[in-house]
Amino acid sequence: MRQISIKPRSKRVLYNVTVGINPTKIEEWKRFMREDHLPKIFASDCFASFRMCRIIDEQADSATIAVQYVAHSLGHLKKYNTNYAPQLQKEHMEKFGNDAVAYRSVLEILEEGEWEPA
């Protein structure tokens, strides 16, 4: 039987940014994220990792990407939102305007785990 490795009572927080992107801008947006935005976010030292996912169930006239950042703690996320997010969101808006509209949500990570062979 296989086992699940569970890390209970994590203090980490998931900061999810869902972005609706004009399909003609998707490659430019991904390049911007890789080369400019993500390095600035991680320079804040508030996050441990990220995941970028394309939402599969979507309409043909848009592309929707969810970028999930794992903050070290809620305190780190608050620090990011106070000291770094306003400028980074402004830069994103100036570059893409209505071609990349973001919605943000915060989730408390209760448990994390990975499937491990027995």
Domain 3-109 architecture: 2-Layer Sandwich (3.30)
pTM value?
A: 0.84
Kindly state the average pLDDT of the residues 87-107. 96
97: left (phi over 0), alpha (psi -120 to 50) or beta: left
96's tokens:
């893409």
What pLDDT, on a 0 to 100 scale, did the predictor assign at position 58? 57
Report how far Cα 7 is from the mean position of its chain's Cα atoms: 21
Percent of the chain past pLDDT 90, that is, above it, reads 71
Q: What is the pLDDT of residue 27?
A: 94
CA separation (Å) from 7 to 16, 51, 58, 87? Answer: 20, 19, 33, 34
Q: What is the largest CA-CA distance in the chain?
A: 53
Alpha-carbon span 49 to 112, nearest angstrom: 14
Q: Could you read off the pLDDT of 8-41 as tens digits, one per residue?
A: 556 889 999 999 999 899 999 999 999 999 999 9
What pLDDT, on the 0 to 100 scale, is given for residue 56?
Answer: 85
